[in-house]
Amino acid sequence: MSAPQQSVLDVKTATVNGQDVVQVRGEVDMRTAPGLRDRLLEAAQGLSGQLLIDLSQVDYIDSSGVGTMVYVKREVERAGGRVVLIGLSPRVRGVFEMTRLDTFFKIVPSVAEAGGS
């Protein structure tokens, strides 16, 4: 008997084009969203400017994941920053469009297009 399949999410921060970017890989669902929220808020601490979140390696996001992104965006904006989502796959972008959050978030195809703070 095998163990139930776990949702796997890898979150790391890297410097891309001179900017710190939080790179997310895997599925963002009700199991992984709380950990992602904590990692994103941690990355945003002491940030003056933009929190760049690369979602190009996220192949699935559910409503709890979207809720996490909204929560993080509000917290970052409360602290005077801004959230930019980068590289959404067609499937993930579709979720943001269906919920009309594509107008709530700044969404760009690449880090280079995220712009400065």
Give me the pLDDT at residue 41, please: 95
**How far apart, in whole angstroms, are the C-alpha atoms of residue 63 and residue 80?**
26
Q: What is the pLDDT of residues 35-90, one digit of tens each?
A: 999 999 999 987 768 999 999 999 999 999 999 999 999 999 998 999 999 999 99
Q: Is the pLDDT of residue 4 over 80?
A: no
Instruction: Report the pLDDT averaged over residues 88-97.
Output: 96
Q: What percent of the chain has pLDDT over 90?
A: 74
Q: What is the pTM of this model?
A: 0.90
CA proximity to 55, closest of 96, 24, 91: 24
- Any residues with CB less than 8 A from the CB of 46 and at least 6 apart, and which? none
Domain 9-111 has CATH 3.30.750.24: yes
